[in-house]
Amino acid sequence: MQPIDSPAMDAAQMQRTLDEERARGLADAEAAADLAALDAAMTRVLGRKAPFSEVQRALGGLPHEQRRDLGAAANEVRATLQAAFAARRETLEAQAEDALLAADRVDLSLPGRRGRTGSLHPLTIVEDEVVEVFLRLGFRVAEGPEIEDDWHNFQALNIPEDHPARTMKDSLYVAIPGHPELLLRTETSAVQVRTMQSEPPPIYVIAPGRVYRRETADATHLPVFHQVEGLVVDEGITFADLKGTLEAMAKGLFGDARRVRLGPAYFPFVEPGAEVGVSCFLCEGVGCRVCGNGWIELLGAGMVHPQVLENCGYDSERYTGFAFGVGIERIALLRYAIPDMRLLIDGDVRFLAQWDAAS
């Protein structure tokens, strides 16, 4: 569609123009420093008013043969230039992105942003671990009230009113008018009694909970502390079952290499009674500053006294059982090398924050 008033251009001129424009276009594309310059150069070389476009428009006025040859030449120039501009565009775009990201750099040595960290108390962590071990062994968790009556806390456990064991630990009594028998439980053992009263054997329970003594807090004593009581009553339960169960606990809490040692001890509600030592996890039982002779005395245990079974209405000839009570604070102190029990009740965040890794 060549306009009528288009200035005439002969074939030689046109060929010359194509050659010049190819050279100029390639040079301009190469010289463009940024995308804007590249766009301008492209308009200059291939735009509607560019010499190249004039040549194209002039093609229509040429004789058939010339038009065919020059047309092919013009198409080749356009393709070459378009490829050159595209290549240059790709390079410039990559450069521009690099520059943008370089400006977006962050000093990664700056502290990361994080929300407030919460944590569980070490006593909770230890209690969870103990409970977990026994859940795997098929024990169920039992609970009982913290205010107990004399019968559950003492008498049912073979500690009558005139038993000297009552003076072994001083109890905290509550002043509730008309109820002189109520006190703050001194052992979670009271839960043993409640469990046996409420269901028939077989019994496989643990009772984690808070207990109270009339004591002044010091590095190794608290007036309020926590125990996990264990009780198994079934047919054919033996002293060996007690030992094996406590071995499983020791391994669960302190590692697979732990061994357990029983020694004679007295608790009114078990017989035979045992003091249970665990081979030291720090020195592997060789003897160190913490354990002394390679063994850490960890808890008290024994075979449930037949009188206790009878007090709860069980047939003490048919059923036997074992019971144990382990102090959570004691385990926590050992496990984490905490020097003073009072740290556990102070609520100091500098102390609590140390368990972030364990929560």
- Contacts with another protein by CB under 8 A: the residue count is 93
Counting contacts by CB under 8 A, is residue 174 touching another protein? yes
Cis peptide before 272 (omega within 30 of 0): yes
**Closest distance of CB 140 from another protein, Å:** 5
Q: How far is CA 278 from the centre of its chain?
A: 29
Region binding another protein by CB under 8 A among candidate stretches 47-55, 96-104, 242-250, 281-289: 242-250
Counting contacts by CB under 8 A, is residue 172 touching another protein? yes
Cα distance between the two ends of the chain: 82
Site for another protein (CB under 8 A): which residue of 88, 185, 305, 330?
Answer: 305
By CB under 8 A, the residues from 308 to 347 that bind another protein are 320, 344-347
C-alpha distances out from residue 218 to 158, 254, 342, 358, Å: 30, 26, 7, 26
By CB under 8 A, the residues from 39 to 68 that bind another protein are none
Rounded distance, CA 109 to CA 104, Å? 15
Counting contacts by CB under 8 A, is residue 167 touching another protein? yes
Counting contacts by CB under 8 A, is residue 268 touching another protein? yes
Counting contacts by CB under 8 A, is residue 134 touching another protein? yes
Under DSSP, is residue 208 helix (H, G, I), strand (E, B) or coil? strand
Counting contacts by CB under 8 A, is residue 138 touching another protein? yes
Region binding another protein by CB under 8 A among candidate stretches 29-37, 50-58, 176-184, 250-258: 176-184
Q: Are 171 and 211 in contact (CB under 8 A)?
A: no
Site for another protein (CB under 8 A): which residue of 7, 63, 164, 313?
Answer: 164
Site for another protein (CB under 8 A): which residue of 204, 254, 281, 295?
Answer: 204
Rounded distance, CA 310 to CA 319, Å? 10
Counting contacts by CB under 8 A, is residue 245 touching another protein? yes
Site for another protein (CB under 8 A): which residue of 60, 200, 202, 339?
Answer: 202
Counting contacts by CB under 8 A, is residue 165 touching another protein? yes
Q: Phi first, then psi: what are they for 184, rounded to 5°?
A: -80, 125
Counting contacts by CB under 8 A, is residue 350 touching another protein? yes
Cis peptide before 200 (omega within 30 of 0): no
Angle of the 122-136 helix axis to the 328-336 helix axis, nearest 10 = 110
**Which one, 52 or 154, has the nearer CB to another protein?**
154
Neighbours of 284 (CB within 10 A): 13
Structure tokens at 4: 């009528």
Under DSSP, is residue 219 helix (H, G, I), strand (E, B) or coil? coil
Counting contacts by CB under 8 A, is residue 128 touching another protein? yes
